[in-house]
Amino acid sequence: MESYAGIGVATVYESLGKDTNGVMNSEIKSVQPSTKLLGPALTVECVPADNITLHFAMTVAKKGDVLIVNGGSATRAMIGELMCTQCKVSGLAGIVIDGAVRDVEDVRKMNFPCFTRSISPMGPSSKSSFGSINVPIQCGGIVVSPGDLVIGDDDGVVVVPRNMTKAVLERARQRLEKEAKTREALLKGSTTVELNDYGKLLQSMGVKQVDGLNEVAQ
């Protein structure tokens, strides 16, 4: 897991492969810009607008875990400043909630990684229906299983299935090396069209450059 430090969400997404849907819905964002999130998932399935399960999950989670919470996209906040304080003191790496958060000004001040679908001043409507902890859940439109690797930054949140972490890491490293060479070439004046040979691509598509509309009419 530590080997993923410094690798961005976009790079991990590209390294997952287009057939693996590991990116959460774009509505799920950090409450504070420039926040980095990295750790194994501890999953929490809550009844919408009821956070009793989350309270107990916080006592189960271990240092470095990321709480992944399905709050049913509830518009009532599932967590606030006090619960985030407990998470930070316990050494948790962060939390991702498919639901709402409140007390965001205080959460920002404590610099605790918190990604959420929405913000609301309204608290939970009840604490009477228990859900599940550490089972596969849906969060942000994707399935997350306990132990999956969770990575978050300003681009969003991506989840790497536990059995793919080594392969994805290797592809991510290769991609970073390739991007470093591309960046060096761009700084020397090259263009993306040249480096990717897009001229041949356009030619294969039958696209050609003309000097004006009269030439098109001909």
Q: What is the mean pLDDT of residues 43-64?
A: 95
Mean residue pLDDT of the chain comes to 93
Which residue range(s) make up the domain with 142? Answer: 2-164
First to last CA, the chain: 60
pLDDT surpassing 80 at residue 19: no
| Same domain flag for 81 and 126 | yes
| Same domain flag for 179 and 91 | no
| Same domain flag for 11 and 61 | yes
Angle formed at CA 62 by CA 56 and CA 63, multiple of 5 degrees? 130
pLDDT surpassing 80 at residue 18: no
Of 132, 147, 164, the position where a domain reaches its end is 164
pLDDT surpassing 60 at residue 217: no
Closest CA to 112 of 8, 217, 32: 32
Cβ pair 153, 37 in contact under 8 A = yes
pLDDT tens-place string over residues 83-114: 999 999 999 999 999 999 999 999 999 999 99
| Same domain flag for 123 and 179 | no
Per-residue three-class SS string for the chain:
CHHHCCCCHHHHHHHHCCCCCCECCCCCEECCCCCCEEEEEEEEECCCCECHHHHHHHHHCCCCCEEEEECCCCCCEEECHHHHHHHHHCCCCEEEEEEEECCHHHHHHHCCCEEEEEECCCCCCECCCCCEECCCEEECCEEECCCCEEEEECCEEEEECHHHHHHHHHHHHHHHHHHHHHHHHHHCCCCHHHHCCHHHHHHHCCCCCCCCHHHHHC
Flag whether 202 is in a domain.
yes
The percent of residues above 90 in pLDDT, for the chain, comes to 80
| Same domain flag for 110 and 137 | yes
| Same domain flag for 61 and 85 | yes
Confidence of residue 218 (pLDDT cuts 50, 70, 90): low
Q: What is the pLDDT of residue 214?
A: 75
pLDDT tens-place string over residues 143-196: 999 999 999 999 999 999 999 999 999 999 999 999 999 999 999 999 999 998
Flag whether 217 is in a domain.
no
Q: What is the mean pLDDT of residues 131-151?
A: 97
Q: What is the mean pLDDT of residues 44-66?
A: 95
| Same domain flag for 49 and 80 | yes
| Same domain flag for 139 and 187 | no
How many residues are there in the chain?
218
Structural domains in the chain (count): 2
Q: What is the pLDDT of residue 120?
A: 95
pLDDT tens-place string over residues 25-40: 999 999 999 999 999 9
pLDDT surpassing 60 at residue 209: yes
Q: What is the pLDDT of residue 203?
A: 86
